[in-house]
Amino acid sequence: MPAPRPLLSLTLATLLALPACTTQAPGPAPSRPTTGRGTATKAPTQAASKAPTLPATGLTRRIETGILRDLSGKVKLVSDAGGSLISDAGGALISDAGGAVISPESGRILSNNSGSMLGKTKFYGLRQQGRLKEDLLADAVVEVLDAAGRVLVDQDGQPLTATSDAEGRYQLKATLPDENVVLRVRLNPKLAGDDGELRALVANKGAGGPAAVDLDTSASLAAAYVLGEYVKQQQTVLDRLPARENTLLRKEVEEARALLPAEVPAYRPDRMAAALAKLRTQAKPLDDTLERIKAILLVGQANLGQGLQATQVPLALPVAVARDAAGNTYVAESVAGRIRKITPDGAVSVLAGDDLTGSVRDGIAAADATFEAISDLAAEPDGGLLVVERSAHRLVRLTAQGKVQVVAGTGSAGQAGEGGPATQAGLAGPTGVALGADGTIYLTEEAVNKSFSPRLLAIGKDGVLRRLATGPDGGFSGVTATADGAVWVATTGLKGKVLRLAASASEPVPVGPTLNLGFNARLLPAPGGGVYLTESGGDRVLRLAADGTAAKLTGPGEPGDNRDEGLVFQSLEAEAAMLRRPYGLAALPDGRLLVVDSGHMLVRVLDPAKPEAPLAAFAGAVGMQAAGAAQAIAVNAPAGLTMAADGKRLVFAEAGGSVVKQLANGQVTVLAGGRTAAWTDGGPALAAGLVGPAAVAYDKAGNLWIAESSNPRILKVTPDGAMFHMAGTGKSPDMSGQALTFDPAGQPAREVQLGRPTALAIGPDDRPYWVDQGFNVVCRLTAANQVEAVVGKTPATYGAGSDAGDDGPAGDARLNFPTGLAFDQAGALYVTDSLNFKLRTVDLKAQPPTIRTIGGLGLGGTLLALATGTEPPASGLPLAGQPLIAPAGLYRDAKNRLYLVEGGTVRLTSLINGLGTSQIPAGLPLVPARIRRIDLSAPGLPVTTIAGPGGRVLTETRGDQVLGLPLGLAVDADGRLIIADALNNQIKLVPNAALD
């Protein structure tokens, strides 16, 4: 039987591609290299294809010729009525006294609208070592940047830069795009030092007319605020400036400038950043204005909940917990590859794993480490933390000084090197780690494949790795060492055993009964001898005495029993009172236990002396049914999204919170789930106990359809709030023990065993369609209330995916982990065939319906492209021939454009390994998630990257500006893209200005 799937495997996070923009300009910019930058007479030395080019339409302004030299000190950039920005001999780009950022009423030029902050002060840095001002203007570099801080390039790929001559003259010919740009002047560092940088922000709206921009401290302050401190590669911010926000920002900058220090800050980026940071603390209105301008996060928490209390921050698939001697608690989020630290006062911070494109190597900071998947943790007496990376086949130490140290494993699967240094020895699927009283590290392995025999290993203080025992076919999961020197290990599976290796013994012996240990059982020494253990397959915590007596502390049934599905899903109250997939264990000083409740994404407190007492929450957000202001509501694994018919109400499935919510007018309300009462068919949706809702969609009559993944069924909520059970038994095939096959023909829909519904869409026939990842099929609920397999051959075997059937009947095709589903305006069906790395389409009008691949290189072709470092194609090229690495979510907008999620290779290995397959090799290039748009109405199906690498928004690799695991997509009535990010527990907005 396959391993129980984690909740967030309701879709796949994977993928690659770093395309550049492809818009063009009508004319080249002459340039020559100066300090590595393209300038006036020679081609640039850097790769121009990485920078955005200019559009061929929407031309509004031109920069032509200019002079930087001006003895009067009033150097300007002038905008004439024709829309050209011209610097003439009567003014240029430097001002040392009295200059201002001047804006007409049109708001064309971003400005404080009040004159220079310099007053009578000389320009900082212009008079140094007795040099004349005009000397400093020679060899200055003038650049035009987009909002992401990238130098614009022309149609020939040449950067839009120019270098002034000995008299301060320059030439720069190009047409600017109809968007905000930043003009930056870099003075010759040999003459002006590091302080000679000036910037001005030029807004993209407003009619033409005379205007002048003086590049002084005031202009650079405004540009630095937006470009340097707040844009963070987010074009979104600048795209929203020209209207109300532009006016607000000018007003607040004017009011805030009085708070600047008497001495004008230098233009050096580090000094400007320091001045801005200080100003933020002094000028609250300015800070508030900038936060409103940013406005990317719709619902969720900023900074991953840093600084909040542990019970206020949702966790993403927690798997392990550890405690150090100082009272700090560490929680590992498996697929996210993130380690959270909880201080004794309950405050949360991210210790490691926040950088999506970092690495794991000796000496780097923990904050810069990227973990592929974490399996277990163990705290060391000196403050170090041992981290097991299952997918990367590695054991890592985070030292007390915050550094990374590789303890064992080479980073790829292998078992050579026993008897030698652990850092040079191979590991194959390490699972659990424990520390002996003498400092020995014990490590277990699972069964990665038939090439490797799972082992119990020991690493001594000398760093040598040796084998203590060979495990059974399924391998080992947890391990612990007791005070008597014995080592206890747990095997995996529904019929697992706990083994004990005595200090003087050569082989471990079974202790206690056969147990339903699942695949992530963990062990912990118990007072007086024996161990505590999590029976993850049976949802129980046990105490196993040295004589083999097993006593249940919490959970349904008796040790070793299969879980009673009926007990679990009677009500949300019954569900909340239990553990679901308990994994990691740690001991509190008072003898109570911390238990990782992975199914509920919590860390809970269990008192062995009072096993009947309620399980208190120690970490992870509880009460997810809460409603209120969007920014005050934490979300737990948001998944599918949909818009109501009016295009203004966003409805989302909160998989971790087991509720369906609505966002409207800045307020979040609950539509279904989140209550403790038992639910009956046709009863109020607000009385239902949902488990893992994964997708939502509205039909033409206003009925809301819901796909539950963990409790697999299809539900319908009528406009009056009544919920009806439409399809599926509601029992998980992972746990039921019944035959794992799918053959719905002739059965009532509610009697069909579903696998794992994860995406949902309403078809042209106004019927619900969904993908079933468990059985690798696409299904439809017919008008006769029967389940029909639209794509995929039946009977289907659970977990058996493959690739076949292109250009043939869809009913004979094979899929492998389908994830996304959408229909185009003509009624054709699109499916993301994730582990086949393809986007496939089904012609439902054909008889029989036929399937074909329209995008992706397949598994082999994609892995080859990754292995050879093939540069992904740029945006605007046809879909055919482009690699799609495990494409995931889909959404089609009103303009017949298909938005496609590519989750990134950062999460690919851990997710695939969690599915029990070894098809995907470890060590793939680390590429974050991205979102791409396919124009289904244009010839060749051109592709544009919207977000993530190669896009214009959400391009950073850490913090809030990261796409961790985007599960759901939707487009509102204003054409703005909304993204549900499950691993970051956020719902984000991409304005339409960043899309078109």
DSSP string, 810-846: GGG-B-SSEEEEEE-TT--EEEEEGGGTEEEEEETTS
Q: What are the pLDDT digits (tens) for 790-837? A: 999 999 988 888 899 999 999 999 999 999 999 999 999 999 999 899
Summarize pLDDT for 142-194 with one digit per residue, the tens: 777 654 456 777 667 777 777 776 656 666 665 555 455 566 777 666 655 55
For residue 669, what are the contacts with CB-CB under 8 A and spacing of at least 6?
627, 661, 662
CA–CA dist 361, 380 (Å, integer): 20
Provide the pLDDT confidence category of residue 599 given band limits of 50, 70 and 90: confident
Give me the DSSP letters along 898-926.
EEEEE-BHHHHHHHHHHTT---SPS----
Contacting residues for 585 by C-beta, under 8 A, at least 6 apart: 321, 522, 523, 524, 532, 533, 534, 541, 593, 594, 595, 596
Bridge partner residues of 502 (DSSP): none
Helix axes 246-256, 284-294, angle to 10 degrees: 160
- pTM (predicted TM-score): 0.71
Check if the beta carbon of residue 268 is closer than 8 Å to that of residue 127: no
Please give the residue that has the higher pLDDT: either 779 or 31.
779
Average pLDDT over residues 929-938: 92
Mean pLDDT calculated for residue range 866-881: 71
Is the pLDDT at 748 greater than 50? The verdict is: yes
In 3-state terms, what secondary structure has residue 807? coil
81, two tokens: 């009525």
Answer with the residue of higher pLDDT: 990 or 148: 990
Task: Tell me the one-letter amino acid at 73.
Answer: G
pLDDT at 216 over 70: no
Max avg pLDDT among 72-76, 286-290, 971-975: 971-975
Tell me the chain's radius of gyration from C-alpha atoms. 30
Answer yes or no: is pLDDT of 664 > 50: yes
Residues 6+ apart with CB under 8 A from 612: none
Averaged over 417-425, what is the pLDDT? 95
A 10 A CB-CB count for 858 gives 17
Residue 486 is given by DSSP the state -
